[in-house]
Amino acid sequence: MPKFCPYCGNPVKQSDKFCIICGKPMLTGIPKSEKAPEIKDTKKEKETKEKLDELISDEKIEKAERLEEKSVEKEKKKWKKGKEKKEVKPLPEEVKEQIVFYIEYNDIQLNKKVLTEKLDEILISTKDSRYEWDNNFKKEVNIKLEAVKALIEELKQNEKVIKQKMEEPFIVQKLNSNIESKIFQLENLTREHKLHKIDRETFEKLREKYKQEKIDLEIEKEDLVVGMKLWIQELKLEKAELASERKLNKGRFSAKEISEEEYKENDKNFDLKLKKITAKVDTLEELTK
C-alpha cells in the first residue's frame, strides 16, 4: 500500500524517516489515536534537513531551467514565424562593405589563378627553338611575359590593400564564437552553483544576463544570415538569366544571325560573368556558416 506524508501529502517510500519534499519526520509505528511526539532538533537532524533542502532547491532550479529553456525556444519559434511574415531586415552598410571586400579578395584569387596558368603557358614558349634564333618571336613572348607578370603584381598589391580593410573573422563567425562563449558561461555558472561556489541570487542574476545576451546574439546572427541568403537568391537569379542569354547567343550563331567571331566574343564575356557570379555566391555561402 502506498505511503504518503501526513504533512504535505506527497508520496514517500516505506523506509523513509523524513519526507524528501517538506523534510518533516514520518510517523511510522505510532497508533492513529496517539499524537506524534515532539522531535527535538538535534545536530544530525539539522544537517539531514539542510541536505534535503539543498536537494529540493537544486531540483527546483533544474526544473525551472528546463521550463525556461522551453519558454525561450517557444519565443524563438514565435519570433522566426513573425520574421517570415515581415519584410527582411536590410543588411547594415558596414556588413555589406565587408562582404564586398571578401568577394573582391576571392575574385583576386581567381584572377591570380587564371594569370598564373597563362604565365605557365607563355613560359612553355620560351623553350621553343624559335625563342633562340627568331628575334621577333622572342620579343613577342617577352612582351606577353612582362604583361602577365605586371598584372599578377598589380593583383598582389590590390590583394594587400583589401586584406588590410577586411575584418577577420567575418561578423557571422564572430557571432558564432560569442554564442559558444555564452553557452560555456551558462554551463560553467550552473556547475559553480551546484558546487556552492556562488550563491543562488548571484546565480539567477547572471543566468538571466547570459541567457538574454545569447538570445540577442542569435537574433543578430539570424538577421544577417537571412539578408545574405536573400542576396544569394538574387545572384542565382542573375546567373540563371545570364545562362539563358548565353544559350540565346549560341542559338543566334546557329541561325547565322551573328558571325563566329562575334559569337565567341560574346560567349567569352558570358563565361567570365558567370564565373564571377559563381564566385560571389560561393563567398556568401561560406560567410553564412
pLDDT class for 86, splitting at 50, 70, 90?
A: low
Long-range contacts of 221-227 (CB under 8 A, 24+ apart): 221/172, 221/175, 221/176, 221/179, 222/80, 222/83, 223/89, 224/91, 224/95, 224/171, 224/172, 224/175, 225/172, 225/288, 226/83, 226/88, 226/89, 227/88, 227/89, 227/90, 227/91, 227/95
Q: What's the burial of 82, exposed, middle or buried (CB within 10 Å: 0-12/13-18/19+)? A: exposed
The angle at the Cα of 95, spanning 278 to 163, to the nearest 5 degrees, equals 70
Q: Give dist(CA 133, CA 128) in Å, integer.
A: 10
Residue-level pLDDT at 15: 77
Side-chain-facing half-sphere of 236: CA atoms under 13 Å = 11
pLDDT confidence of residue 33: 44
Q: Which residue has the higher pLDDT, 62 or 249?
A: 249
pLDDT for 35: 43
- Residue 23, pLDDT score: 74
The pLDDT, as a whole number, for residue 287 is 96
pLDDT average, residue stretch 163-189: 96
Distance CA 106, CA 159 (A): 9
Q: Delimit the domains of the chain by residue range.
A: 1-31+44-71
CB 125 within 8 A of CB 141: yes
182, 217 Cβ separation under 8 angstroms: yes
Give the model's pLDDT for residue 178.
97
- Cα-based distances in Å from 172 to 95, 178, 185, 226, 231: 10, 10, 20, 11, 15
| CA–CA distance, 286 with 170 (Å, rounded to integer) | 10
pTM of the model: 0.63
Tell me the average pLDDT across 215-237: 95
What pLDDT was estimated at residue 11? 78
Tell me the pLDDT tens digit for each residue of 254-263: 999 999 999 9
Amino acid at 146: E
Torsions phi, psi of 14, nearest 5?
-60, -35
Express each pLDDT in 16-63 by its tens digit. Answer: 777 777 777 776 544 444 444 444 456 666 666 666 666 665 665 666
- Name the strand (E) or helix (H) holding 235: helix 200-254
pLDDT-derived band at 90 (thresholds 50, 70, 90) equals confident
Q: Residue 195: how many CA atoms within 13 Å on its side-chain side?
A: 7
Q: Is the pLDDT of residue 236 over 90?
A: yes
Mean pLDDT of 159-167: 95
**Residue that has been written with the C-alpha cell 550563331 in this structure:** 253
**Tens digit of pLDDT for each residue in 131-157?**
999 999 999 999 999 999 999 999 999
